[in-house]
Structure 1
Amino acid sequence: MNSGGVVPVGELIEGDDHWVLPIADLLVTQLRFDFAVTLIFEEHFHVRMEGVIALSSDVGSSDSVIEVEGDVDQLVPLLRLKTATVREGLAFKDGRLELTFTDGSRLVAPAGQAYESWQLAGPHGLLIVSVPDGGLTIWMPKTDEGTE
């Protein structure tokens, strides 16, 4: 971690039950909708989510439950995340993803029972995948020397 308290791009920090993702202070530059929802961030990061996700507008508000492959009207609340800035991203070891934003919004993608519910991809080969029935598979970024 650098002196500013921000995780350097590409560096994961392991906690007891989670990983701190290296996306703090990054701006959402694009949203993509297909059979999944993809948030595209600065610095070549993206998060792709499938299944059911929850979005709250600020601390203490009720969640909007969004079925990604459901009715398109359910996706409208996600539009407010375009140009949102990430405060913190956490990948829990049980397979859950939590993203909080500087405007107070919070996005949660639970682990899927029979599918990979989300994945984060970043520069230098960083890839984190929430595997079926919970848990994470992590490919660490490669260094300049070509090793992890």
Structure 2
Amino acid sequence: MSTEKSPAEHENRWILNLRGLRVTKISVDFRLVLVLDSDWEVALEAPVGLSRGTGHASPSVILKPESQDVAAALALFGAKVLSAVAFKSGTLRLVFDTGHHLTCTSDPSFEAWQVTGSAGWRFASLPGGDLAVWTPSPRLRVDGGAV
């Protein structure tokens, strides 16, 4: 699977290397959470655009996690990720093999979304439109040296 590779940084975005991972669980509280294979998780707190087809082919449905208005997201259960991009402007875009496109932009007041991975990777859209990235820490040996 592509998650064996680390996410890759480019000039204006990060390629998250989630290609091939399936949505194995969807949960809702004040967030919409998509759990993927290999312990990756996408947590969405701001309104999210969900469309199907190529760009203009079908209009977006707006999912509103804060009011649990996210029923359309159930179509993503079992879907496989084709592309996952975290833009340095704070926007997240996921494309699925079902033809669905999910887009969450930044929010002026709070973190709109987070993506976390099992190896310690974490990406978050910061308030106002920026991207925070946490990379895995090197493991330490008992004597304090890096592994």
Which category of TM-score, normalised to the shorter sequence, fits these structures?
0.7 to 0.9
- Change in Cα spacing, 1:131 to 1:21, as seen in structure 2 (3 Å) is same
CA distance in 2, matches of 1:123, 1:141: 9
| Residue segments in structure 2 that go unaligned for 5+ positions in a row | none
- Residue in structure 2 matched with residue 69 of structure 1 by the alignment: 66
Q: Secondary structure at the match of 1:141?
A: coil
- Residue in structure 2 matched with residue 119 of structure 1 by the alignment: 114
CA distance in 2, matches of 1:19, 1:142: 18
**CA-based RMSD:** 1.7
Deviation at 1:143, TM superposition (A): 4.7
Deviation at 1:144, TM superposition (A): 5.4
CA distance in 2, matches of 1:41, 1:143: 24
- Verify the 8 A CA contact 1:10 1:126 in the aligned structure 2: no
**Residue number among 46, 56, 67 corresponding to 1:51 in the alignment:** 46
- Residue in structure 1 matched with residue 127 of structure 2 by the alignment: 132
Instruction: Give runs of ≥4 in structure 1 deviating > 6 Å.
Output: none
Q: Secondary structure at the match of 1:124?
A: coil
CA distance in 2, matches of 1:17, 1:58: 25
Residue correspondences, number? 140
- What's the TM-score once normalised by structure 1's chain length? 0.87
Deviation at 1:113, TM superposition (A): 0.7
- What's the TM-score once normalised by structure 2's chain length? 0.88
**Superimposed CA distance per residue, residues 12-52 of structure 1 (whole angstroms, 9 cap, x where no aligned partner):** 11122110002111000000100000000000100100121
Report 1:1-148 matches (<5 A): 7-9=2-4, 11-59=6-54, 60-70=57-67, 72=68, 74-143=69-138
Q: Which amino acid aligns with 1:28?
A: V
Q: Which amino acid aligns with 1:111?
A: S
Deviation at 1:92, TM superposition (A): 0.3
| Residue segments in structure 1 that go unaligned for 5+ positions in a row | 1-5
Deviation at 1:104, TM superposition (A): 1.1
